[in-house]
């Protein structure tokens, strides 16, 4: 695939992102968003942490294994994201947004 001068792909493959969002919605019933970051409050070192919320914003508590798998898959599909800050994946829109920008958007 051709790359632009900035190094980004001229036609990014968004089908992977769309497929992953659909798979995660099937894997974690009721999930609307998944927040992923390296900020697990139970760990001293940067450690993968994920939080799932439903459409109403209520936190869901799925099994730990699907949650860890989902977080790893999200990191692999969006390697270019700034993982120094948590990111939120909207499963309906298959878009990844920094969590602080999501919170600021809700405040409007």
Strands 87-90 and 59-60: what pairing? unpaired
Average pLDDT over residues 27-49: 90
The model carries a pTM of 0.78
If one compares 97 and 41, the residue with the highest pLDDT of the two is: 97
**pLDDT for the residue numbered 42:** 84
2-6, 48-52, 68-72, 102-106: segment of lowest average pLDDT: 2-6
**Digit-coded pLDDT (tens) for 63-93:** 889 999 999 999 999 999 999 899 999 999 9
- The count of C-alpha atoms lying within 13 angstroms of the C-alpha of 29, restricted to the half-sphere facing its C-beta, is 0
């Amino acid at each position: 695939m051709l790359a632009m001068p900035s190094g980004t792909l001229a036609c990014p493959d968004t089908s992977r992102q769309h497929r992953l969002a659909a798979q995660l919605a099937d894997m974690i019933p009721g999930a609307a968003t998944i927040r992923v970051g390296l900020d697990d409050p139970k760990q001293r070192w940067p450690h993968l942490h994920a939080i799932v919320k439903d459409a109403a914003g209520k936190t869901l508590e799925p099994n730990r294994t699907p949650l860890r798998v989902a977080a790893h898959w999200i990191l692999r599909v969006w390697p270019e994201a700034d993982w120094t800050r948590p990111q939120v994946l909207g499963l309906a829109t298959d878009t990844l947004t920094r969590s602080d920008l999501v919170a600021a958007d809700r405040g409007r």
